[in-house]
Structure formats: structure tokens, C-alpha cells
Amino acid sequence: MTIDDATIRHADPPLVRLARDGARAEIVLTAGPLNLVTRPLLRSLNAALATLEAADDVRCVIVHGENARAFCAGSDMREFAQLHANASEEKILFEDMVLRRLARLPMPTIAAIDAPALGGGLELALACDLRVARRGVMLGLTESRLAGLAGNGSLRLARLVGPARAKELLFAGETITAEIALAWGLVNRVSDASALEAARELATTIASRGPLSNRLAKELVDAAHDGPLDAALTRSTVAQQRIFDSDDLHEGVAAFFEKRDPAFKGR
């Protein structure tokens, strides 16, 4: 299926917009100056992800906060007063499900961070495959300042930066600059200007590559973290066979020898 520029309406005003430019799609957070994570925002984001899951012609997805003061500043704490023993039912499980859905989109995903990504906002960015940040932007899992906890963010952060640096950020609740995040491996690229434009350039490059091979590469890299090595290697063998069975591989080889750009079809 294909998607057009569309608004995912689960609130008024809308909180998420889906935009399309060729093989590239964008999830735009439009939830106000801080893009706070609320239940309506999560519902809208979940609907956008459901649309993208079925979009076979989308080759890369960018998540960004448009011109807001924050990429996402985390949870709206005004909701916390109603959350005690029912927090798992009303917030934790649903938020975890939406972030897992984002992480499991079949195509590569990029978070474009042009403004602070804090708490649940950084957790949202961590659920993407790649992160591009504007120079000087602050990032952090700051929940410990309020005696809170970044649940899934703690796990994803540790996988990227290692346990010692993850614990330092979590225990102290401090923020770091995009430059430090780059040195630690938390972000992939830092842009002197617009992170969104840099992410679009990267997404255009990714979208020009073999879509099937990129989807399978994502599966294999994730499998390397999620299970035993032997099981991951078995998946690698199956994935490699799918590549050699594909039209795209043979198109890529033909284009190489014919000195032209390949025309990949994703099959």
C-alpha cells in the first residue's frame, strides 16, 4: 500500500502527522512546543506505525518534532496523579508496546533531533535505528531527578553506550550534548545546521539502496542482540538465501557492470 501526506487524528488539534516524499516517510510530532508524551499522542503514534508497517514501498522513516522547542520532552507529568497501582495498565504497557512497534518497523528508521530529547523523548529516539542530532542539543534520561525510571530506555541505552556510561546517565539524571553523545555512540551523526535536513539526506541514501537487503540487515543486527549467536547465524543463512533469490541483487550486479544506477524494486 502507499501513504499520502496525512494527519493521524486521535486528538484535536492533531498530535501526529505522516508525510511522504518518494520512498521516504516522516512521522511528525505536532503535540505542542514540548511534544509531551501523553496517552492521546501514543494512540496517534501507534496508528501511524500501523500504517507504515503495511507500506511496502516505504524504504526509510524519519521521526522528528518539526519546529517545536523539544524533539520530545518526555511524559506529561500531569497524568501521573491518576497513576498508582494501575500504572502498568494505563501507561507502562501501552507505551512499551508503541515503542516496541516503532523499533520493529521493517524498514530503517531515523530520529532527527533538532531540540532537546529528554526522558521519554530520548526513549522514543532510542527506539529508532539511527539518531541524527543538531550540534549542541541536549539529551538525557532525566527521570531519576524525580525518582522516576526510564524502563525500556535503560536497556536500549546500555546496548548503545555500555553499562558504565548508561548507569552514569541514569543515576545522575544529567544531560549530555550531541557532541558527547556522538563520541559515546548514542547518536550516529551531528549536524552543524538542521538535523532534519541531515537526516533527510541520510534517508535518501538509504532509500536508494536495496530495500529488501536493508530490511533483512535490520533483522540480523537486531537478532545479534536479541538471542543466542547460533540462532542469529541461522537467521543469517536464511536471509542470505532470500537475497540471492531476489531480483534486486541481480539488478544491482547488472547495474554495476553496466555503470548505471540500479533500479531496485524491493523483491
Q: Which positions are annotated as active-site residues?
A: 123, 143
Whether the pLDDT of residue 198 is over 90: the answer is yes
* pLDDT tens by residue, 83-99: 566 666 667 788 889 99
Which amino acid does the sequence have at 242? R
The CATH number of residue 86's host domain is 3.90.226.10
> Do 161 and 215 fall within a single domain?
no
* pLDDT tens by residue, 227-251: 776 666 676 666 666 766 778 867 8
How sure is the predictor about 10, in pLDDT bands with cuts at 50, 70 and 90?
low
Calpha distance 196→84 (Å, rounded): 38
> Which residue, 193, 208, 223, sits at the end of a domain?
208
How sure is the predictor about 178, in pLDDT bands with cuts at 50, 70 and 90?
very high
Instruction: Tell me if 139 sits within 8 A of 116, measured CB to CB.
Output: yes
> Do 55 and 134 fall within a single domain?
yes
Task: Count up the domains in the chain and report the number.
Answer: 2
Instruction: Tell me if 201 sits within 8 A of 157, measured CB to CB.
Output: no
pTM of the model: 0.87
* Structural domain boundaries, residue 226: 211-258
Calpha distance 6→20 (Å, rounded): 9
Lowest-confidence region among 6-15, 49-58, 134-143: 6-15
Q: Angle at CA 155, nearest 5°, toward 227 and 72?
A: 130
Question: If we measure between CA atoms, which residue out of 178, 175, 72 comes closest to residue 131?
Answer: 178
> Do 78 and 122 fall within a single domain?
yes
> Do 71 and 187 fall within a single domain?
yes
> Do 115 and 11 fall within a single domain?
yes
